[in-house]
Chains A and B, each alone.
Chain A
Amino acid sequence: MAFISSGYNPSKPMEGRISDIGPRHFSEFLPPVIAKNFGKWEYHEILEPGVLCHTAESGDKAYTVRCGSARLVSVSYVRELCDIADKFCGGHLRFTTRNNVEFILDDKQAALDLKAYLNSQKFEGGSYKFPVGGTGAGVTNIVHTQGWVHCHTPATDASGTVKVTMDAVFDQFQDMKLPAPVRISMACCLNMCGAVHCSDIAILGVHRKPPLIDHEYLDNLCEIPLAVAACPTGAVRPTKVELEGKTYKTVAIKEERCMFCGNCYTMCPSLPLSDGEGDGIAIMVGGKISNRITKPSFSKVVVPFVPNEPPRWPTMTKVIKKILEVYAEEANKYERLGDWANRIGWERFFEKCELEFSAHLIDDFRDPAYYTWRQTTQFKW
C-alpha cells in the first residue's frame, strides 16, 4: 500500500507530540449495572459452567458469561466480539487476567441465551470460537507467551503447545468437576514470562545444548562483561581467539558448567543456542499463588524433558492429561494439585502419575539445593 500519513511530521518530530497520558480510566467502560453497584456487591454464585451471578446490596444482579479465547487474535475476531457485545450487552465486554472474555448482562435468560449463542459459533476448521467455561473447579485458559510467533529466545512454541493442551483438557474447561481449580501455564523459555513458576501445571521450553560462539562478530555486537555477568553458573569468561591471523576479543564457555539457560544469548546476539533436536519441554507441577489454606508455592519440575513434536506435541499432552486425571481421581475436595502431592508425598505422586524419577529432578543449584533433599527417615516404600 502506498504511504498514508497520520499527520505526524517527521521533520518536526516533537511538534504536536502527545505523551504521558497513560491508559484510559476503567470507569469509562463499565456496563451500567457495574457502574451503579460498584463496591456494593453482596454475594455471588456460579449458576453453571461459564455463568456467574453477582447480587448487589440494591438487589441488582449482574450475570457474567465467560468464554475462552486464543489470546493471539485478529482484528476480525475482536470485531466479532464487539458485535456480540453490541447485540447482547450494550457494547460492553471485558478480558480476564487469564485472557478469557467476559460479557456482563443484567438478565438471567439473556445470559443463558448468550451462552448458547457463543457455544454455537465455530471457525471453518470446526473449533469453537467462543467456548463458554473457565469458572469454578475446572481448567481455565492457559497463560502463555510468544513462542515462535514473535520472540527470539524460545525453546518451543507457545500458541501451538497451548492449543493442543486445551484440546486435550477441553472437557474440564466446560465443566467444574475437579477437586479445585487447575491453572495451567506455558512459557517458551526459562525467562518464564507469565506464571509457569506458580501454576498447578506448567509447560516450559528448555534447551539441552550450550551456545555456539560467533567469535568474529561477538565483540562488535556484544558488551562482553554483560555476557559474563549473565551466566548463573559462571560458565562464561572473556578471552581472545585468533582466526586467520586476526585476534578477536570474545568469550569462552566452559561447557560442563553450562546448563543451557540461554541468558547469555539474551544479552549477546553472538551466542545463539536454539536447536531443533536439543530443544523441548520440561513439565512442572504444584505451584499456586492464592493464600487459601496453604501458603503460595512454586511449581516443581517433575518431567525434565519431552521433545518438541509440532504440530500436536503428543508426548507432552499425554503427560499433562495423565497428571490431571490422577489428581482428579485422588485429591480431596479443595486440594490444589500441590497440596495433594505434598500430602501424599512426592514419591507417591511419581508412582501414581507413572512418571520416571531421574537425577535431573534433584536440585543442584547452590546452597538452597540442600533444603530440597530429604532430611528425615519419613518416606514410603
Chain B
Amino acid sequence: MAVVEFQGSSFEVDEDGFLQKFEDWTPLWVDFVKESEGIKEISEDHQKVIDFLQDYYKKNGIAPMVRILSKVTGFKLKQIYELFPSGPGKGACKMAGLPKPTGCV
C-alpha cells in the first residue's frame, strides 16, 4: 500500500486514492484530496455532505444510499455533483474517509 505525505502528515491509501483506515481521517485529508477531485475550496455545503457521510458511517457501518444522502442534506443529486464533480461515491466518500464503494460499480 502506498503512503502519501501532506503538510507533515502521512496517509495510507490504495491505488484509487481511498484512505485505508477511516480512523486515519483528519481535516488535512480533505485539503489533500480536494484538488484531485476537482474542488478549489471546501464550502459549508461540502462540509455538510462530508459531516453527514461520516456521521452515518459511524452509526450504521455503511455509506448511505444516494436517496438518503439527498433527503437528509437537502441537496439534489445534481447539486451533489456540482459540489463533488466525481459524484457522491468517488468524490464525497473518498474525502470523508469512507471505504471505497464495492459491487458492480
For A266, give its contact among B20, B61, B63, B104 (CB under 8 Å).
B104
Most chain A beta-carbon neighbours within 10 Å: one of B21, B38, B60, B99: B99
Contact indicator B99/A221 (Cβ below 8 Å): yes
Contact indicator A222/B20 (Cβ below 8 Å): no
> Looking at the complex, which of A79-87, A175-183, A223-231, A325-333 is the stretch in contact with chain B?
A223-231
User: Which residue of chain B has its CB nearest to the CB of A227?
Assistant: B102
For B102, give its contact among A14, A191, A220, A222 (CB under 8 Å).
A222
User: Given contacts A13-B38, A14-B38, are A224 and B104 in contact (CB under 8 A)?
Assistant: no
- Chain A residues with CB under 8 Å of B63's CB are 223
Contact indicator B62/A225 (Cβ below 8 Å): yes
- Chain B residues with CB under 8 Å of A268's CB are 102
Minimal beta-carbon separation of A328 from chain B (angstroms): 37
A14 to B83, CA, bound (A): 12
Minimal beta-carbon separation of B82 from chain A (angstroms): 9
- Chain A residues with CB under 8 Å of B85's CB are 13-14
A223 to B96, CA, bound (A): 14
A14 to B103, CA, bound (A): 28
Cβ of B6 within 8 Å of any chain A Cβ, yes or no, is no
- Chain A residues with CB under 8 Å of B104's CB are 191, 266
Minimal beta-carbon separation of B85 from chain A (angstroms): 6
* Inter-chain CB contacts under 8 Å: number: 34
Most chain A beta-carbon neighbours within 10 Å: one of B20, B22, B61, B85: B61
Interface of B is mostly: loop
Cβ of B90 within 8 Å of any chain A Cβ, yes or no, is no
- Chain B residues with CB under 8 Å of A222's CB are 99, 102
- Chain B residues with CB under 8 Å of A269's CB are 102
A92 to B102, CA, bound (A): 40
- Chain A residues with CB under 8 Å of B57's CB are 223
- Chain B residues with CB under 8 Å of A191's CB are 104
User: Given contacts A13-B85, A14-B85, are A221 and B38 in contact (CB under 8 A)?
Assistant: no
Minimal beta-carbon separation of B14 from chain A (angstroms): 8
- Chain A residues with CB under 8 Å of B46's CB are none
Contact indicator A223/B61 (Cβ below 8 Å): yes
Contact indicator A223/B99 (Cβ below 8 Å): yes
- Chain A residues with CB under 8 Å of B38's CB are 13-14
Cβ of A267 within 8 Å of any chain B Cβ, yes or no, is yes
Residues facing A in B10-54 (CB within 8 A) are: 20-22, 38
User: Given contacts A14-B38, A191-B104, are A223 and B62 in contact (CB under 8 A)?
Assistant: yes
Minimal beta-carbon separation of A306 from chain B (angstroms): 26
User: Which residue of chain B has its CB nearest to the CB of A268?
Assistant: B102
A226 to B61, CA, bound (A): 9
- Chain A residues with CB under 8 Å of B99's CB are 220-223
Contact indicator B61/A267 (Cβ below 8 Å): no
A222 to B62, CA, bound (A): 8
Contact indicator B103/A225 (Cβ below 8 Å): no
Minimal beta-carbon separation of B60 from chain A (angstroms): 7
A222 to B57, CA, bound (A): 11
Contact indicator B20/A220 (Cβ below 8 Å): yes
A221 to B100, CA, bound (A): 7
Contact indicator B61/A225 (Cβ below 8 Å): yes
User: Which residue of chain B has its CB nearest to the CB of A229?
Assistant: B62
Q: List 21 A-B contacts (CB under 8 A).
A: A13-B38, A14-B85, A220-B21, A220-B99, A221-B20, A221-B99, A222-B99, A222-B102, A223-B61, A223-B62, A223-B63, A223-B102, A224-B61, A224-B62, A225-B60, A225-B61, A225-B62, A266-B102, A266-B104, A267-B102, A269-B102
Q: Which 5 A-B pairs have the closest CB atoms?
A: A223-B62, A13-B38, A220-B21, A267-B102, A225-B62
